[in-house]
Amino acid sequence: MTPSLATLLRALAALVAIGASVTLAVRAADEKPTAAPARPALTVTVTTPQTSALPVRLAANGNIAAWQEASIGTEANGLRLAEVRAGVGDVVRRGQVLAVFAPDTIQADLHQVRAAVAEAEARHAEAAADAQRARELSQTGALSAQQINQYLTAERTARARLDAQRAAARVQALRLRQTQVLAPDHGVISARSATVGAVLPAGQELFRLIRQGRLEWRAEVPATELARMKPGLPASIVVTPNGKPIPGKVRMVAPTVDDKTRNGIVYVDLLETGDARAGMFARGDFELGTGRALTLPQSAVVLREGFSYAMRVGPDGKVAEAKVTLGRRVGERVEVLSGLDANTRVVASGGAFLADGDTVRVVETPPPKAVQ
């Protein structure tokens, strides 16, 4: 065999080997299995934001205070307090005796004045009889005009003295009644400074009374919102973190605004007292009406790293995080201020178990009813 022929045969063998390798590679590539589709991470139901009618509220803070407080003092001067019949927290009625002063001195003065009244009555009767006889004798000339005048003047003087003694008796009777301290109105005793045995001057305060037991919430409202506050507007007040809301109603709006805080005071009558006590701090909301808003079930909102998200579901079943801004909460629904539109499908519940890019299997459910 010549060298040229041997070289040709070796080249042909190499070509055949290369062709076989290419054929095997192509066949292997054709026979390689395709990747399996991704398995759903979760089976979910979806929902869309619904347009609902939500109440429009204005939040405020303020203090609970007595509607009106009455200061109950003594009108008697220099008497000893003999008995105290009411204490802090007692519910009293108008005219109820709260305290009694020792009446001995005034009773003695009253008896003395009554004796003076009886003496004045006797003198007046005598002067009246003399004056009547003088009138009868005035036509006979038995008495001079001067004498007649004296008798008539004596009658008038005796009458004036009798009136003065009767007035003094009424004063002493009034002082005797003032030895009993009476409640000026229905209400609750909020403070007591009366001490048995004390000798007090007139005007000294003994009790303070919350009139009719009425309390009010003095809410601080920004000046820009005062125009929306009207008498009769309903409010809801919470005085303790876990307390039941107390219904209230706006009684009046202060005519002035604090020049430092730029807040005005809105006076709200508490329709129930509940856990409220005068002096407590309270927060509350004013009910200003209703407004339309997009809402989601609270179960569709996921809280992560301090932000709120809804898990959007795409046509291919993949989920994507959508950061949302929330507003009011009513029942099981929450207002969505931004981040979603009305046609976006989101995971109705279980979004906390999903991550961005997960695939889910969607189970259709009827759309939720809008909150009215």
Residues spanned by CATH 2.40.50.100 within the chain?
82-101+179-213
C-alpha span between 312 and 322 (Å, rounded): 6
Q: Determine the pLDDT at residue 91.
A: 94
Which class is 44-54+292-363 in CATH?
mainly beta
Phi, psi of 2 (to 5 degrees): -80, 155
For residue 7, the model assigns a pLDDT of 62
Which CATH number applies to 82-101+179-213?
Answer: 2.40.50.100
Question: DSSP code of 38?
Answer: P
Tokens of 170: 């009424």
What is residue 83's predicted lDDT score, i.e. its pLDDT? 93
Q: What is the pLDDT of residues 181-203, one digit of tens each?
A: 999 999 999 999 999 999 989 88
Token readout for 141 is: 């000339």
Domain with CATH 2.40.420.20 in the chain: 44-54+292-363
User: pLDDT of 10-56, one tens digit each?
Assistant: 655 555 556 555 454 445 445 444 444 556 667 888 888 888 778 88
Amino acid at 240: T
- pLDDT below 50 — which residues of the chain? 1, 22, 24-26, 28-29, 31-36, 370-372
- Residue 9: the pLDDT is 57
Query: CATH number of the domain at 59-67+215-290, please?
Result: 2.40.30.170
Neighbour-count burial of 204, counting CB atoms closer than 10 A to its CB (0-12 exposed, 13-18 middle, 19+ buried): middle
pLDDT score, position 28: 47
pLDDT score, position 364: 66
Residue 23 has a pLDDT of: 53
Three-state secondary-structure class, residue 19? helix
pTM, full prediction:
0.64
Q: What is the pLDDT of residue 140?
A: 76
Give the helix/strand (H/E) hosting 346.
strand 346-347
Fold of 103-177: Helix Hairpins (1.10.287)
Q: Where in the chain is the domain with CATH 2.40.30.170?
A: 59-67+215-290
